[in-house]
Structure 1
């Protein structure tokens, strides 16, 4: 081809060539590193293509158009071959290519290359770009990342739902009953009526964030409804009673919790309710004699307070002047390092409470002891210390519990008929290094443990993770349900098996016989990666449930970004980390942990329909990176800035740097979806449907409502009407779904993040209400607020055949 005259080397072509030159050099250099470490060669090839185009542009050769057309088509073939017709995966592989191609195809560029519009030499590039755009449009219409199916919606014969003595229109515990099903037997809200939901009232608690609050200041409360009153708590531990129909405040109690720079969390997931034996059966609960009906409130300064449910006055005959001091018997007293964020378990005679400790600050933390107190007077009845599990008699004065033992920070459940209380147990700090754990710690860490309700003695233990090095605490309330399994050898004469459903951070949902802890759905032990840090070891196998939302291992092609550049950066990071599957041990080099410690499931758990015997779940998927940092001494800070010293692990050989795996633009390095709604059959373990859920409207730099599927941190709700609800996605919405198919039926915009669990109740007006708390989540960065919002149907849609009185 003859050389183009020099005058055609315009400033525009030179600047365009310079852009292509910079991109080409960057792709060759970074892509070369990637290829040398076992990654894709595409970026080297693409970089060479950019360099050739840059040279041709600088020389003013029209061959630049042909060359870029070939590069565009080759990139398209490579992208589709790597990820198929997944639009969100194709987009970062082609956006820069297409944008630069459009620039080259414009008349102001082609004229300077001596090519006229519509000339044969000008057509290849537009055709290549058109092919790329057509594939992108097709990909947008192709469904991906989901399962389409239907849950069985007929009620299972002869298995009446266990109400736990809770009237149909009430919600007496965190999960409605002490079995934690998060199921309402009300059926006015159905797939046919859900789109008519409207706001009945909004209440603002007035509890807003303060400059002195920790980052993890969050609204996670699920209110209770007893009789005609709602009871809730706030992050600063106010307890508030509202009229259930009007939202009018009835009383408020302030426990005067002092500020503390040492606290990691400031939240309250809920209060607990108890109606004493002295109650008059003919009198509504909120009209009983003083302190016969009580609200129990755990506080951020480690107290357990009893309040009169009618008035909010302190019940002075409980504990010491109305409160139990949970610091009693604790080792390593340090203000702000121990507290309870979850509502305690309440039984007819006992109140059982665990607590949280600050994560990974020191090997000399307070104890993770779980204690049972007399429900009437607050006397200590038994204590279960995972570091000394056989000594359950009340601890003697002057003695302390085992320091730094695994704790139970989440919500427990109870089966009073079996005499068992079920507790999700966490891990012993430091979470990512376990070289000094005792046999007792190894037994109880990351387990669900059943204790004798009368004595606190261990009845059974099921461990969800062996030798946990990934902060995979069992995070959620165990859910109790009687499953219809007439052919199961464990079945009772009526054909049912008393079951326990336990969601986990790694995505397994274990379905166990709650009498013994034996699996009802198969659990296998699978080989686990080896190679722990110095002084530690890894378990040879890890348990896996037949019912599981555990994601497949990440591959390099799963890395993502907004452009080919940050996607390349994420690919390089992927290749620079240790990763051999879900249980790759933490390392000094750095380990990719997937699922990350955010968890597929967290404290919100799952919702279970006891009649249809199905589960509604909200699995989330985010990769994290863990890096162990050798400690030279027990005082220097490596990863924290000021108190309380999170992740320093004073007293251990390693501090830990931990966080989500993000691109240089702050986006997740793994491709979406990052969150789903899903439905599964509990009797078979079959996942019927799974749909990506939620938008990036409130988390993206530009507030566009792309429905990419985002994480949910909160809990789900099922109603007997065949609908399900969540509000915990990281966009500010509450959404309702068809339980049978998972199809989204309704949504409403919230004034703040809804990282809590919705609940439902019947008002005295005969209407079913949906209650949502929208206050935001500090560490997730969702919008802060203080709203409690009640939705209901118009009066003419209340279904007469489903009405029940507020008291059942």
Structure 2
């Protein structure tokens, strides 16, 4: 009993000390009171008094009532509040002295009732929305883009960005039979000199009977679509650069041959590295953006450079830049090929320097590489090509994600980011304020602005519009409208008329928290869409942890940081940003079925913290740590530190679920179903596939057969879902993290294939690899 009483004392003292700290922050009194009770139980246990059991029974009952009041009948919040205390009760159930059985008679039923009730909560999913999306075709003649049915010619299959395939061999009835057809390893793996966020995020293209996939270090590989056999490899020879925030390639782009036969590509097996081949005159072309700010044009048949494009197939994207720091500017996303042009945007490092390269968007002649127009959000009205010696605007808002295009309307749609520094708004011009964190529609012919719709005013939270807009013709009460659907980091899904930019689903303004550092300001209101996956405002009761101790520490952090709800401005105190800059949605976007008029998405919820660090007289130590860490903001009075809001044990401070899949009827804006997605199998040292609803990054694909495919989550699985109900129908274990968006196509035998790149993600710590995985139904 001495050891048991010592345990109660230690637990009680820890809860009392932390609880008193929490009380000084105007937090819950529960932990301090619990500490006092457990110290008393320890004293009574040492003296072997029956009152120890009775007091502990009262403590368990009070804790259970408090837990239900705070979190409802929900397993994960209850388990972490009650689990440790139920375990501590076990030694008290077997008294050493006969006279203590009176106390046992009180404690045992309380312990049993609470334990059974806790276990029963496993069968209740308090966060689940059950329903069913429309299964019938609404728009029989829906526009699917100009990609042949069996192929995948652009990142989102076509420039419409739908991530929808008209293939229907794989259905909810047979998806469970999918099996591995082949796998290929690229050989491009993360090296010791690589930056932390070295990631596999590529979606392959399928042209003819070949797949074209890029790797993090900008290799472009051609594979046989039937067998996965390597046909050629082009290595862009990108040097290591520690100043990059990202080392990734999301995909390449394709210009069909002049004949108009889009899939008429006869790919030849190479005898050696394709980069060693002499440049050739190209009919069809592949465009590969590189992380050292080049755009390469390659022959799909051989991998040779295209002599007709720019300088023997190579275009330097640093031309006319106001600042040219190595690693500060590059393209991670594929350009858009439309209207005879290749239109390129780029990523500018967040929070490294006030004076950084421009976020200019440029259109080049797709055959020659000649600059046709440039649109710079810092100088938006002048789109005529800049001449030698002229420069674009410093640090203007950029578009790092994937764009979409409607050639019939003659418009291209860019999701816009923010001006760096992201958390310091005093450097922005009125033009930059207008176009930051928005979608902007530009004329394909001239680059002039057709319309802009902003999603955050005076963005101080790194809420870049991260996702490719999806284009479809939407059936509405006013008739069929050309629609654009774009999800955002803050959880809103905006549905706009893509010709005019006017909302199809209503947008309103809501008041926003005020109070910034001197010299800055916060917008008084912020927009919100009627279709939204925004989470409720965090409460202290939402704080979580694997044990009461780290839950207590999370509560102390919560009360110590500044938080007045969404859009609380950054501060020296440290601010909770929820949803975090990881986003409810990110570059993986959504998938839409233009025929059934439905949407499949993966909303996730992970709070971050944002702290402004005064630089005057401070020794900052290591800076420019990338997406998560301390970044210098050279030229500004403050550095900024961004990181996930985690407990001391490294788990999110807000209670799960952290990740879902969801289905929405785009005609009504109704969320028909929403289910937890993913397990903690690869998040802990115990490989338990507990379905908790976990974070992830990547995107889905929908098929005509009624199946959606998605990997993305932090456990290493590719999954198939029934689009109508959201039920998971199939999963397969991956050899590495699947933080890429799948695609699907028909091989030369007419078999539907599903392909995913699995190589892991540096920011979220999934398993690193270099795999391309292909699945199909077994032969009949």
Q: TM-score range by the shorter chain?
A: over 0.9
Question: TM-score when scaled to structure 2?
Answer: 0.96
Report the counterpart of residue 53 of structure 1 in structure 2.
41
Question: TM-score when scaled to structure 1?
Answer: 0.93
Contact 1:615 1:682 in 2 (8 A): yes
Of the three residues 189, 193, 199, the one matched with 1:218 is: 199
Report the counterpart of residue 323 of structure 2 in structure 1.
332
Displacement after TM superposition at 1:708 (Å): 0.3
Report the counterpart of residue 491 of structure 1 in structure 2.
none
Structure 2 residue 71 is the aligned partner of structure 1 residue 65: no
Structure 2 residue 190 is the aligned partner of structure 1 residue 206: no
Report the counterpart of residue 126 of structure 1 in structure 2.
108
Contact 1:619 1:712 in 2 (8 A): no
* Alignment size in residue pairs: 768
Contact 2:711 2:741 in 1 (8 A): yes
Query: Within 5 A, what are the aligned runs for 1:610-629?
Result: 610-629=594-613
Displacement after TM superposition at 1:691 (Å): 0.2
Structure 2 residue 404 is the aligned partner of structure 1 residue 413: yes
Report the counterpart of residue 232 of structure 2 in structure 1.
251
Displacement after TM superposition at 1:638 (Å): 5.1
Structure 2 residue 349 is the aligned partner of structure 1 residue 358: yes
Runs of 5+ in structure 2 lacking a partner?
Answer: 269-279
Structure 2 residue 475 is the aligned partner of structure 1 residue 484: yes
Contact 1:693 1:709 in 2 (8 A): yes
Structure 2 residue 639 is the aligned partner of structure 1 residue 648: no
Structure 2 residue 339 is the aligned partner of structure 1 residue 348: yes
Q: Residue by residue, what CA displacement relative to the aligned partner does 1:471-514 show, whole Å, maximum 9, x if unpaired?
A: 000001011010012x31xxxxxx31000001100000000000
For the residues of structure 1 that align with 2:103 and 2:263, how far apart are their CA atoms?
90
Contact 2:281 2:308 in 1 (8 A): no
Displacement after TM superposition at 1:287 (Å): 6.7
Q: Residue by residue, what CA displacement relative to the aligned partner does 1:20-76 show, whole Å, maximum 9, x if unpaired?
A: 122222222221222332322211221121121122123231211111111111111
Contact 2:133 2:598 in 1 (8 A): yes
Report the counterpart of residue 605 of structure 1 in structure 2.
589
Q: Residue by residue, what CA displacement relative to the aligned partner does 1:441-497 show, whole Å, maximum 9, x if unpaired?
A: 100110100011111111111001000000000001011010012x31xxxxxx310
For the residues of structure 2 that align with 1:363 and 1:15, how far apart are their CA atoms?
59
For the residues of structure 2 that align with 1:646 and 1:365, how far apart are their CA atoms?
18
Of the three residues 262, 265, 290, the one matched with 1:285 is: 265
Q: Residue by residue, what CA displacement relative to the aligned partner does 1:377-412 show, whole Å, maximum 9, x if unpaired?
A: 000000011111111100011011111111111000
Query: Within 5 A, what are the aligned runs for 1:352-391?
Result: 352-391=343-382
Against the structure 1 CA distance between its residues 741 and 572, is the aligned structure 2 distance closer, same or farther, given a 3 Å change threshold?
same
Against the structure 1 CA distance between its residues 709 and 762, is the aligned structure 2 distance closer, same or farther, given a 3 Å change threshold?
same
Report the counterpart of residue 145 of structure 1 in structure 2.
127
Query: Within 5 A, what are the aligned runs for 1:215-614?
Result: 215-277=196-258, 279=259, 281=261, 284-286=264-266, 291-485=282-476, 487-488=477-478, 495-614=479-598
Structure 1 residue matching 2:631: 3-state secondary structure: coil
Q: Residue by residue, what CA displacement relative to the aligned partner does 1:246-287 show, whole Å, maximum 9, x if unpaired?
A: 11111111111111122111100000001132x264982337
Structure 2 residue 148 is the aligned partner of structure 1 residue 171: no
Q: Residue by residue, what CA displacement relative to the aligned partner does 1:522-581 show, whole Å, maximum 9, x if unpaired?
A: 110011111112211000110100111111111111110111111111111111111111
For the residues of structure 2 that align with 1:145 and 1:152, how far apart are their CA atoms?
22
Report the counterpart of residue 806 of structure 1 in structure 2.
none
For the residues of structure 1 that align with 2:709 and 2:481, how far apart are their CA atoms?
28
For the residues of structure 2 that align with 1:287 and 1:363, how far apart are their CA atoms?
46
Against the structure 1 CA distance between its residues 664 and 145, is the aligned structure 2 distance closer, same or farther, given a 3 Å change threshold?
same
Q: Residue by residue, what CA displacement relative to the aligned partner does 1:718-772 show, whole Å, maximum 9, x if unpaired?
A: 0000000101110000000000000000000000000000000011111100001
Report the counterpart of residue 4 of structure 1 in structure 2.
none
Moved more, 258-267 or 179-188: 258-267
Query: Within 5 A, what are the aligned runs for 1:729-768?
Result: 729-768=713-752
For the residues of structure 2 that align with 1:656 and 1:283, how far apart are their CA atoms?
48
Report the counterpart of residue 138 of structure 2 in structure 1.
156
Contact 1:360 1:646 in 2 (8 A): no
Moved more, 636-645 or 93-102: 636-645
Quick check: which has more Rg, 1 or 2? Answer: 1
For the residues of structure 2 that align with 1:345 and 1:643, how far apart are their CA atoms?
27
Moved more, 336-345 or 75-84: 75-84
For the residues of structure 2 that align with 1:515 and 1:729, how far apart are their CA atoms?
35
Report the counterpart of residue 804 of structure 1 in structure 2.
none
For the residues of structure 2 that align with 1:763 and 1:406, how far apart are their CA atoms?
41
Q: What is the alpha-carbon root mean square deviation over aligned residues?
A: 1.7
Runs of 5+ in structure 1 lacking a partner?
Answer: 1-12, 489-494, 797-808
Structure 1 residue matching 2:55: 3-state secondary structure: helix
Moved more, 93-102 or 39-48: 39-48
Displacement after TM superposition at 1:178 (Å): 0.2
Q: Residue by residue, what CA displacement relative to the aligned partner does 1:599-637 show, whole Å, maximum 9, x if unpaired?
A: 00000000000000000000010011111111217x964
Contact 1:351 1:375 in 2 (8 A): yes
For the residues of structure 2 that align with 1:628 and 1:646, how far apart are their CA atoms?
10
Report the counterpart of residue 10 of structure 1 in structure 2.
none
Contact 2:144 2:160 in 1 (8 A): no
Contact 1:170 1:762 in 2 (8 A): yes
